[in-house]
Structure 1
C-alpha cells in the first residue's frame, strides 16, 4: 500500500493511501509538474510567503485530512499543495481542505472528470478535457483548453499545456511571467514560481519572468528531464543530478549529494527530491517542511508553502 506522509507547519499528520502525489507517482512537477531548483543574490530577510494572513490559525487545517470526500488514503492520483491548503484528485473528483479564506478549497461542480490539479498561494486550478478552471482569491475563471496535459501555479499566475502548446492565462504579468517564449518546441512540463515561469521542451529548460535572484537564468544542463520552480528559485533534474539556481537565502540551492534522483519539488523556500536512497529536503525549515520522517520506498514528493508530502 502506498502512503502519503505530510510534514510541516510545526505538526505532522500521516494518511495511508494508495495512489500518487503531485502528478503521477514517480515524477512530480511543481506542485504540480516537474512537478518539479544557481546564483545567489540579495534576498529578503524572511521566506517569500505571498500571503501570511491568518497563517497561524490555518496552519493545522492544511495538514488535517478532510472528514469526507476524496481521501488521499483512498487512491488519490494527484496532490496539490498551496500556501495553507491541500487538494487531492482521484478518478476525476477533487477534494480540498485547509484554509478557505477565499474559497480555494471549494471546487466548483462544473469541473467534469478532472485530469490534473494545481494549488497556488490562495487559489486552486484544475483541468478537464475542455476547460482550465481556477477558483479562490481571484474569483472563478474558466478558460477553454484542448486535451491539457499539465497545469501549474505556485503564487498568483497560472499556466497550462494543452494541444495548442503552453499558455499562461491568469495572474499578474508585472515581471513578464505570462509572456511565453514563441520558440518553445513541444513543451511537456511547466513550473511556476512567485513571479517567474519555467518550461521543459525538446530543446531543454527555459525560464522567464522575474530574474531578481537569477531564478530565470538557466545554467548549462545535460538532458534535463524534470523541473520545479520555487518562490525565487528554480531546479532541474538532468543527467548529472539535481541543479538549483536563484535565491539562496535559506540554502535552497545547497543541493545534497544524491544518487539517481527521479522526482523533485520546490516550495516557497525549500526543495525536496527523491533518489535511490529516499527523500532529501533542503532549504527553509521554519515549519518542519524539510524534516524528512522515516519513509519506506518513497517514489515522489510534493512541496507547498509550508508543508511537504511524500508518496511511499
Structure 2
C-alpha cells in the first residue's frame, strides 16, 4: 500500500471509531427514555446504528477508490520510466555500443547512472539517477541484457520502478514496478554484397536505377540511352559514365530513347537528341551524360550557308550549313533542379522556385509554351495571366508540386501545390488525354475517314499551354448523331494523390485511394463513326449503350477503374470481335497505394492499400501474344491472348525470393500505345523491393526482346525476376546496424 493510501485508511479507521462511540452513547440515552415509557429511543438507536454502518461502508469505498487511483498513477510512472530505458537502449544500439549485461558478475545493467557498457559513468555521483522525482517518491529504470533473436532481430526489456520514502528512508514494501519490452530490428545485412537501389525508372525498352547515389542502366542502347559511352545494347546493368561519377544522383528519368538525371541539383541528359530533348543547345546524340543548358547565353539566329559554291542547278556542292533559329538563355539559369521527367522526345523539369521548364519536341504543344516550335534548351512553360482572348495559364500564380511519370506520351500533366492537390495538363489531345472536356481529332492523324454523313465529333487544336483538368458536374454535349450525357468529373469533390501519363491516357489515384483515368483511343474501329456499346475506361468501363459517342475516349476524369459488377464492352482489333457483359474483378472498390501504366496502352499494375497485393492487367503485345507482362505464372507465354485476358486483373505471382519484401515503387515500361491499337509494343514492368533483412533490389517481368528486364538474358519473364547483380550492381557495403524499434509493449 502506498503512503497516500495508508493515510487515507487511517482517517477511515478514526471515523469508524467515532461512529461506534456515538452509537454507545445513544444506547444509554435510549435506556433512559424507555424508563419513561416512550418508544422514541429504540427508533433512534436503530437509525444511529444504520447510519454508522452506511458511513463505514462509504468510507471504505472512498479508501478503496483512492487506493486504486494512486495505484494507477504510480503504475503509469513506472511504465514511463521503463520506456525511458527503452530509449536509452535504442541510442546505445544505434551507436553499436550495446554491451551492458545484467547477468554478468558483477551485474552491469543499463540505468540512468551507467553507460552503454553498464559501467558507472564518470561523475556518476553527481549525475541524476532517476527519471522523475517528487517529495516522497522517484522513478528509475534498469534495462536487461539484449536478447538476440536470429541474426537480424533482438528483444529489449526494460524494468521501470517507483520507490517511496518516509523521512528520507526507502520503504521497499511500497515499490511499484512495470516491465516494457520492444521487438527491434538491429541490423540490415547487405545481402550478397549488392548495392542497394533507391530509385527506378523505365523507358520504352530500357530502364535505370539509382544505387549508392550512382546511376546504372540496361536494355536498348541504339541511341546511347544507357549512358555508358557506347551504343551497344546490354541485357545486364551498366554504369553510367562521367560526368555523373562522384556526384550525388537524386532522380532518374528514362524516356523513349533518352535518359535524364538530377545530380547535385543540376540536370543531365543522354541518348537520342534529334528534337533537342537533351537540352544542350544541339541535335547531337550523346552516349554519355551532358549538362542540360543552364546558361545565360543568348545565341542569335543564323542564315543558311554554302561554303563550297553552287552547281548549275543552284544546289550547294558542299559545306552546307542549314539556318539555325535563335537560342535564348536557359530558364534553368541560376536555379537548381528538383524534379525531372523524360517523355517521348522531350523533357520537363521543376526548379527550386516551383516553376516548370521543358525542351525538345513540340509538334503537339507538349512543351506548353503556346506554340509548336521545338526547343534545344529549357524554356519555362507558359504561366501568364489572361491576355485578350487568350485565357490565363493554369499555372498562373501557381506552384508545381510534381510532374507526372511519362511513358511514351506526347502530353504533360503536373500536380499543383495546394489543398487538395489538383492536376493541370497540356500537349497532344487527340484522345482527350489532357482532360479539359475537349478532344483534338483529325482523320489524317488516325488514318481513317468517317463518311460525310457522320463527321468527327469534335475538332480542336492540341492544347499548347497548361489547362486545368475538368472538375465539372454532369453535362450534355451535342454531336452530329445526337446528345451525349456525360457524368460529373471524378475529381469534382476531391484531390489527387499521384498521377501518370501513358500513351493516350492519364491515370491518377485520387484522395479516396481509387484509380481514375481520362483519354482513350481514336483509332479506326467498328465503333468510330457511330454510337454503340463501347466506351473504354481503362479496364472496367461501363457499357453506356447509346449515351456515349466519344471515339472510345473520355475527356475528363472518369471511373473508378474498378467498381462493382457492371456492363462492360471489350474489343480486340486483332480478331475484329467485341463483347459486352457483366464483369466482376478482384479489384472492385479497392484502394491503391501505388500504380503505374494503363491497361489499354499496354499494362496497368497496382498495389492494393489493404493487403499490399500486386495485380496487373494488360492488352496483347508482340503480335497479339502474351509476353508475361501480367506477371502471372499460370498464363502461358508467347501464346495468343483471348478476349477475356485483358478484362480481368491477375494477381502477380510472388516468387520465393520476394518473401517478406515490400514494394516501394512500381514503373510500367514499354512503348505505350499512341495509335489507339489497344496494345503496347513492348510492355514490361519493374518494381523496387525492400526488406528489413536485406538491401533494396529491382525486379522486372514482361517482354524482354532488348534486355529491358536487366536479368542478363533476352527471354521474356512471367514473374518478377531480379535485375542482375553479378556485375556493376555488386560490391555493396558491409552489414551495418540500422535499428528500427516497434512501439513498446507493457507486460
Q: Normalized against structure 1, the TM-score is what?
A: 0.71
1:226 to 594, 603, 621: 594
- 1:288 matched residue in structure 2: 707
Q: Once the 2 structures are TM-superposed, how far is the Cα of residue 11 of structure 1 from its aligned partner?
A: 9.7
- 1:264 matched residue in structure 2: 666
Q: How many residues align?
A: 262
Counterparts of 1:140-289 in structure 2, within 5 Å, are 140=375, 142-144=381-383, 145=395, 146-152=398-404, 153-154=406-407, 155-163=409-417, 165-179=421-435, 180-182=469-471, 183-184=490-491, 185-203=494-512, 204-210=514-520, 215=538, 217=540, 218-219=561-562, 220=588, 222-229=590-597, 231-238=601-608, 239-240=610-611, 241-249=613-621, 250-254=627-631, 255-257=652-654, 259-268=661-670, 269-276=683-690, 278-289=697-708
1:97 to 253, 260, 270: 270
Inter-partner Cα distance in structure 1 for 2:731 and 2:614: 19
Counterparts of 1:63-78 in structure 2, within 5 Å, are 63-64=227-228, 65=240, 67-68=242-243, 71=244, 74-78=247-251
Contact 1:215 1:233 in 2 (8 A): no
Residues 57-109 of structure 1, C-alpha deviations (whole Å, 9 max, x = no match): 41x443423543xx276211110001121111134311111111111111452
- 2:350 matched residue in structure 1: 127
Secondary structure of 1:261's counterpart equals strand
For the aligned residues, what is the CA RMSD?
3.6
Contact 2:203 2:257 in 1 (8 A): no
- Change in Cα spacing, 1:168 to 1:297, as seen in structure 2 (3 Å) is farther
Contact 2:200 2:667 in 1 (8 A): no
Q: Once the 2 structures are TM-superposed, how far is the Cα of residue 13 of structure 1 from its aligned partner?
A: 9.4
- Change in Cα spacing, 1:273 to 1:186, as seen in structure 2 (3 Å) is same
Q: Which protein has the bigger strand share?
A: 1
Contact 2:225 2:259 in 1 (8 A): no
- 1:62 matched residue in structure 2: 226
- 2:83 matched residue in structure 1: none
Q: Name whichever of 209-218 and 249-258 sits farther off.
A: 209-218
- 1:80 matched residue in structure 2: 253
Q: Once the 2 structures are TM-superposed, how far is the Cα of residue 168 of structure 1 from its aligned partner?
A: 4.1
Q: Once the 2 structures are TM-superposed, how far is the Cα of residue 162 of structure 1 from its aligned partner?
A: 1.2
- 1:28 matched residue in structure 2: none
5+ long unaligned stretches in structure 2: 1-194, 229-239, 280-291, 295-330, 363-373, 384-394, 436-468, 472-489, 523-535, 541-560, 563-587, 622-626, 632-651, 671-682, 692-696, 712-722, 733-747
- Change in Cα spacing, 1:66 to 1:97, as seen in structure 2 (3 Å) is farther
Q: Once the 2 structures are TM-superposed, how far is the Cα of residue 281 of structure 1 from its aligned partner?
A: 1.1
- 2:47 matched residue in structure 1: none
- Change in Cα spacing, 1:289 to 1:91, as seen in structure 2 (3 Å) is same
Q: Once the 2 structures are TM-superposed, how far is the Cα of residue 114 of structure 1 from its aligned partner?
A: 2.1
Q: Once the 2 structures are TM-superposed, how far is the Cα of residue 143 of structure 1 from its aligned partner?
A: 3.3
Q: Which protein has the bigger helix share?
A: 2
- Change in Cα spacing, 1:261 to 1:7, as seen in structure 2 (3 Å) is closer
- Change in Cα spacing, 1:113 to 1:15, as seen in structure 2 (3 Å) is closer
Asked which structure has the greater RCO (Cα within 8 Å, sep 6+), the reply is 1
Q: Normalized against structure 2, the TM-score is what?
A: 0.32
- 1:18 matched residue in structure 2: 213
Inter-partner Cα distance in structure 2 for 1:11 and 1:133: 24
Inter-partner Cα distance in structure 2 for 1:6 and 1:227: 13
